Chain A
Amino acid sequence: EPEVTQTPSHQVTQMGQEVILRCVPISNHLYFYWYRQILGQKVEFLVSFYNNEISEKSEIFDDQFSVERPDGSNFTLKIRSTKLEDSAMYFCASSGQGNTEAFFGQGTRLTVV
């Protein structure tokens, strides 16, 4: 069964460092998302991406964040200068034609120290 895959599963980084989280969405999907979940809290929307551009973003997704689809399969989230409060699980999701069901990856646990 097709699935969304994310790497790495866990990333530890020093405050101020840049991190890139990687995702391979389901192959025929058109809509891509990043969400985050701070430990014990709900899943929060960060950004959606369609037709090679950001379609929507939340107030969390400030200038420190960027997304890219560098080729036909990968979808990345970059945090330029990490802060302690960026520590969270980051989930990539994708959905197909009609943008109905969104399927999530297993997540990357980001720990900023």
Chain B
Amino acid sequence: GQQLNQSPQSMFIQEGEDVSMNCTSSSIFNTWLWYKQDPGEGPVLLIALYKAGELTSNGRLTAQFGITRKDSFLNISASIPSDVGIYFCAGQGSGTYKYIFGTGTRLKVLA
């Protein structure tokens, strides 16, 4: 079945640093969503991408829909302690209602 692999699996960074993570698949997707999940909470939608090559920002977050439609990238600039959490990508393919979630990137920020 479809699988989304995220890398890195986890990362420790210093407060103020920029963060990059990505999500790759062997399948093509028409929509990419990026979520953040805090412990014991539901995923919170950060950014939605609808077109290959699209670059979208939400505050310090910037995400891109890869040209091949098989990947997506999320960058966080000038990280702060509240950026700590697990970041998930989710892709929606053609002719389907469901979103497939990635394996997640766990981010820890050292003050």
Contact = CB atoms under 8 A, between A and B. Distances in A.
Interface of A: 4, 31, 33, 35, 42-45, 48, 50, 55-56, 58, 91, 99-107, 109
Contact of B43 (A55, A91, A99): A91
B101 A44 contact: yes
Contacts of A105: 42
A104 B44 contact: yes
Contacts of A100: 31, 48, 50
Dominant SS among interface residues on chain A: strand
Given A42-B88, A42-B104, A43-B88, A102 B42 contact: no
A58 to B, nearest CB: 8
A33 B101 CA distance: 13
B99 interface: yes
Contacts, number: 55
A42 B102 contact: yes
A43 B97 contact: no
Nearest to A99: B97
B21 interface: no
26 contacts: A4-B42, A33-B97, A33-B99, A35-B101, A42-B102, A42-B104, A43-B43, A43-B101, A45-B99, A45-B100, A45-B101, A48-B98, A56-B98, A100-B31, A100-B50, A101-B48, A102-B33, A102-B99, A104-B42, A104-B43, A104-B44, A105-B42, A106-B42, A107-B40, A107-B41, A109-B40
